[in-house]
Structure 1
Amino acid sequence: MLKAPLILVVLISCTSALFGQNTQTYSFTIKPEKTHQIIHNFGASDAWSIQYFGKNWPAEKRNQAADYLFSTEVDEDGNPLGIGLTLWRFNIGGGTAELGEKSEIPLLWRRAESFIDENGNYDWSKQAGQQWFMNAAMERGVDQFVAFSNTPPVHFTLNGKGFSEPGDHANLKPDAYDDFAEFLATVALHFDSLGMPFDYISPVNEPQWNWDNNKQEGSSWRNEQIYKLVNHLNEALVANGSDTKIEIPEAARQIDLYSAGGIKNRDRQLYRFFDPASEYYIGDLKHVALKVAAHSYFTTYPPENLIEVRDSLRIHIDQLNPDIEFWMSEYCLLEDNEEVKGPGRDLGIDPALYLAKVIHHDLVYAQSNSWQWWLGVSPFNYKDGLVYITDNITDGDVYDSKMLWALGNYSRFVRPGMHMIEVEGEAPGIYLSAFKGNGEIIVVAINENKVEQKIGLKGISGSVKKYVTAAGDQFDLKYVGEFERSDSVNLTSRSVTTFVIK
């Protein structure tokens, strides 16, 4: 097994510190002089719910959700009103909504409109709810956007559907590559004209899966098909003068970027697309971003996978080309293991701690430059949302969640352009990461233990502001206060804590 240099050594063990009284102070040393990757953003997507929520629901409730996700304001007591996301993902739909029941996708939420019809006519009034929410994000300071496609428009697909027939081939007519590329480039150019530019277009999503059921829009893609599509899309973007870059491959799992034991014709995508010796090399195309995007699904359990998979990915990237960035571009609690189960809505602290631990390992071991959640707003009985709403397309209730606020311990304070810095230290059930920029040092500490813990923070000085996410309504990224750095600070039991040091 390849081993990366450790930024942080953490012991995970069942000791008295996890379940009993603890009086020990665990020491961590922050080393601002040792910098690692730049952090570009934290984000989420508008998939599925926003098309109705952003169009039909009362404005007050839409704005409440937008505040939760994007606001950087605080209340009179200094508590954040939102988590300050800095990137938003816009789903370019495939036209299954227009097909209605003929789409064969039974769940209304999971169908999506398309800007183009079968005659090649564009209707920019489509996806109105998503356009409203994108504008709401911009009004709250978000300036990074990714447009992603799960399927080509249905009239370009082999079966006329938004999901595939069995097999590993793309659900795209052989003569429609140029049409699909032109469509994506036209969408980018249109949003440019509105002053709402997409930084990136992601033309394929989780190409490892066959997407041959009718649960949602989706298409498989072989590596050679991605290569062909990206070349067509690059030509279309060059032709229309857009500044939008192409993001690939949105791999289903991080291991699909490097593992030789992956899914045939859809494996080792880091090397297939960015090794100059590869027949599918696209790293020299003008509009291809020098990064690989992948999802964190199915790499978080058993616990040792959190380190081993991410260590390996980091080393493979550095060996091929250390200038290639890694973006973790989608995750929710999809797992069904001994630690967490995806089914069942849970607004509490337990899934939030699991989420925070995944963020920590993606940033520390894989050294991701971006971290993006799946559904910004969810109507489902599943651990896939940050904000939750009633399962109704016109009105209902809006709920925040501890997963929202736990992500906020990172996204609200680790701002674009900051760098991760080295941390030394270890403690059972405690995970620390640190970042610097804008004259600040940000330390995020996760305490899985069922009792309060004490930690010492060495290597830093100055005033400290403390924000805590823990069980109870009063601990939703709560501002605890400001104090001068001391020999030890307390971590609330079962919590995520952010220290802002100036």
Structure 2
Amino acid sequence: MAGFKIRFLLTISTLLSIVNANKLVFIDPNDRWQVFEGWGTSLCWFANALGGFPDIRNQAADLVFDISKGLGLNVIRYNIGGGDDPSHHHMRIGGDVPGFLPCENCDYDWTSDANQRWFLFAAKDRGADIFEAYSNSPPYWMTNSGCSAGGSNFADNLNFTYYDAFANYLTDVVEWYSLEGITFRTLDPFNEPTLRAWNVNGSQEGCSFNDCSAMNTIIRKVGDSLYFKGLLGNTSVSFADENTIDQEFFTISCIENNVMSYVSQYNTHAYGGALRGELHDISKLDGKRLWMSESGFTASEEMSASIELSKQILNDMRNLKPVAWVYWQVIEHIQPGIDWGLIGADFSNSSTSLDIRLAYYGFLQYTRFIRPGYQIISSNDEDTLAAYDAINKTLVLVCTNKNNISEVWNINVTMFDIGLFSAYRTSNNNEKLTLLPNTWFIIDGIINYESPANSITTWVFNLKLH
């Protein structure tokens, strides 16, 4: 009778907490979504600057790529620099990435791009295992404007007489790296091709491709070049890194079926757009891997930057359902207005210490715990991302309170046989991936949790083995 009374009281307590809760979160392991490949970053433009700073580059590499010391990013996007006219001096600091072929009749200079190459191999040494190469612009001498920042009045800039040379250049770089120990699984010849943002004498490399026939021709030539060099078995084409999800959806529709055989992966940036579900569906129908290959946010020491980052991850991972999620560049040059770095650095001064922002820890709430091979599973709550590791019997929930008041969350894990569990939090309350005291109980399969305002909490549950 005493046991029944205790059980009855616990049940009443649970019911009262449910009634008073702001959030009722249910996790369903039978509704399985994407199997996750990993978190990533682009190496440009920070690697081109910091790779030449021996005093801080190892610390930077640890913070970004090492799972025990940092974010553990395993997906790396390497920019094959076109290289601008050496008489030009208009690129942003770090943006003047050297190319490997400085002129039409030159030999390849494989000593070029040493700084970015240092970070590429540093990432591999620290556990990165998925590598993609992409192009922002052809070499300047292949362009119509004579400038790798873009065409005159934002016009398409690859001269049609150099289509073959451009494809050969990209695949030659991929081939050379394969001999050096880096296999690029994918190669994307475009970056935001229809954005109309790439103008002569701009601050970074860029090239417009607004003509569908041009994009079809380039994909075909790049694919053919990979095939003839014996690279196609290890490297395929990704496409098209459009600025918005909606533009990616529409650009895909203009690619011819016979060209699509070379394409294994759709890359989309997420700076706008609403067609997440539609893009996911078309990628699944076409049998293509889907990445969110670039997004970024204005840096801030406030928790608001972490919340914005988390909201983007939640929206993308739950609705777009990509298998990889890639931040633009984790480290950024410290400058007012256009500093998007989770880590701030002075690209002109190697003695300046790295500035680790609070948003870095917001990202860490995801990257430290949801690892490659985890399967994203259903949660009925838009502010929760759930992932399950079947091998190690681990359930991870990342829960974001994006409001300015505390909330009571009831997290229903009745579908799991929970053993030990722990919680980590980042907030404005001097918490940076802070391990929280273990003061919670699972009562009738529910955890009752008061979430502080503007906070991210990660729950790690170890399931019982039977």
User: Does 2:267 match 1:310?
Assistant: no
Contact 1:87 1:142 in 2 (8 A): yes
Rg bigger for which structure?
2
- How many correspondences in the alignment? 427
- Verify: 1:237 aligned to 2:226, yes or no: yes
The letter of the residue matching 1:310 is R
Aligned counterpart in structure 1 of residue 261 of structure 2, from 284, 293, 306: 284
Q: 1:379 aligns with which of 309, 330, 333?
A: 333
Aligned to 2:409: 455
State whether structure 2 residue 163 is matched by structure 1 residue 174. no
Shift of 1:443: 0.7
Is the counterpart of residue 469 in structure 1 residue 435 in structure 2?
no
Shift of 1:479: 2.4
| Residue equivalent to 2:125 | 139
How far apart are the structure 2 equivalents of 1:326 and 1:224? Answer: 23
Name 1:261's counterpart in structure 2: none
Q: For residue 44 of structure 2, what is the aligned residue in structure 1?
A: 47
* CA shift for structure 1 position 138: 1.3
Amino acid of the structure 1 residue aligned with 2:219? V
2-side partners of 1:284 and 1:27: how far apart? 45
- Normalised by the length of structure 2, the TM-score is 0.86
Structure 2 counterpart of 1:36, one-letter code: W
For residues 429-461 of structure 1, give each alpha carbon's deviation from its aligned partner in whole angstroms, at most 9, with x where no partner exists: x70110112321111111112233222221332
Q: Secondary structure at the match of 2:161?
A: coil
Instruction: Report the alpha carbon displacement of residue 104 of structure 1 after superposing the two structures with TM.
Output: 4.6
CA gap 1:484/1:462 in 2 versus in 1, 3 angstroms = farther
Match of 2:383 in 1: 431
For residues 63-462 of structure 1, the aligned pairs below 5 Å read 63-73=58-68, 81-96=69-84, 99-100=85-86, 102-118=87-103, 119-166=105-152, 169-210=155-196, 211-213=198-200, 214-221=202-209, 222-242=211-231, 243-258=234-249, 268-273=250-255, 279=256, 281-285=258-262, 288-289=263-264, 291-299=265-273, 308-317=274-283, 321=285, 323-333=287-297, 342=298, 345-381=299-335, 382-425=338-381, 431-437=383-389, 438=391, 439-458=393-412, 459-460=415-416, 461-462=418-419
- 2:405 match: secondary structure: coil
Question: 1:383: how far off?
Answer: 4.1
Judge conservation of contact 2:145–2:152 (CA < 8 Å) in 1: no
Residue type of the partner of 1:270?
I
Q: Which amino acid aligns with 2:110?
A: W
Q: AA paired with 1:392?
A: S
User: After superposition, what is the alpha-carbon deviation per residue over 1:231-261, rounded to whole angstroms, capped at 9, x for unaligned?
Assistant: 1111111122221121101111100123xxx
- CA distance in 2 between counterparts of 1:109 and 1:141 reads 25
- Letter of the 2:225 partner, please give it: A
CA RMSD in angstroms, aligned pairs only: 2.2
Provide the C-alpha distance between the structure 1 equivalents of 2:261 and 2:44, rounded to a whole number of angstroms.
31
Taking the aligned partners of 1:322 and 1:419, their CA distance within structure 2 comes to 21
Deviation at 1:312, TM superposition (A): 3.7
Aligned to 1:31, what secondary structure does the other structure show?
strand
2:277, 2:320 within 8 Å by CA — same for their partners in 1? yes
In the alignment, which residue of structure 1 is the partner of 2:4?
A: none
Name the CA distance, whole Å, in 1 between partners of 2:286 and 2:396: 25
Q: Distance in 1 between the 2:277 and 2:436 partners?
A: 35
Offset at 1:481?
5.0
Distance 1:135 1:433 in 2: 31
Question: Structure 1 393/159 Cα, relative in aligned 2: closer, same or farther at 3 Å?
Answer: farther
Provide the TM-score with structure 1 as the length reference: 0.80
CA distance in 2, matches of 1:484, 1:84: 31
* Residue 317 of structure 1: how far off its partner (Å): 4.2
Q: CA deviation at 1:179?
A: 1.0
Distance 1:322 1:95 in 2: 35
Q: 2:366, 2:398 within 8 Å by CA — same for their partners in 1?
A: yes
Task: Letter of the 1:29 partner, please give it.
Answer: F
Separation in structure 2 between the aligned mates of residue 43 and residue 488 of structure 1, nearest angstrom: 33
* Cα distance in 2, alignment partners of residues 485 and 447 from structure 1: 21
Which secondary structure does the structure 2 equivalent of 1:175 belong to? helix
SS at structure 2 position matched to 1:449: coil
Which amino acid letter does the alignment assign opposite residue 297 of structure 1? Y
d(CA) in 2 for partners of 1:322, 1:146: 21
Deviation of the 1:477 alpha carbon: 1.8
- Pair 1:495 & 2:449 matched: no
8 Å contact from structure 2 (residues 22, 409) kept in 1: yes
Indicate the SS of the match to 2:320: coil
Structure 2 unaligned spans of 5+ = 1-18
The one-letter code matched in structure 2 to 1:95 is: G
Deviation, structure 1 residue 26: 2.3
Instruction: Give yes or no for contact 2:187–2:238 (8 Å, CA) kept in 1.
Output: yes
CA shift for structure 1 position 315: 4.3
Structure 1 gaps of 5+ residues are 1-21, 74-80, 259-267, 274-278, 300-307, 334-341
AA of the residue aligned to 1:346: S
Alpha-carbon distance in 2 for matches of 1:125, 1:397: 28
Shift in Å, 1:201: 1.3
| Corresponding letter in the other structure for 2:320 | A
Could you tell me how far apart the structure 2 residues matched to 1:45 and 1:476 are?
A: 24
Percentage identity across aligned positions?
Answer: 24
Aligned 8 A contact 1:223 1:280 in 2: no
Letter in 1 for 2:261: D
**Equivalent of 2:33, from 29, 36, 42?**
36
Provide the secondary structure at the position in 1 that maps to 2:268.
strand
- Alpha-carbon separation, structure 2, partners of 1:281 and 1:455: 51
Equivalent position SS for 2:370? coil
**Deviation readout 1:31-82 (Å, 9 max, x if unpaired):** 1111011211110111122112111341xx2122112111221xxxxxxx31
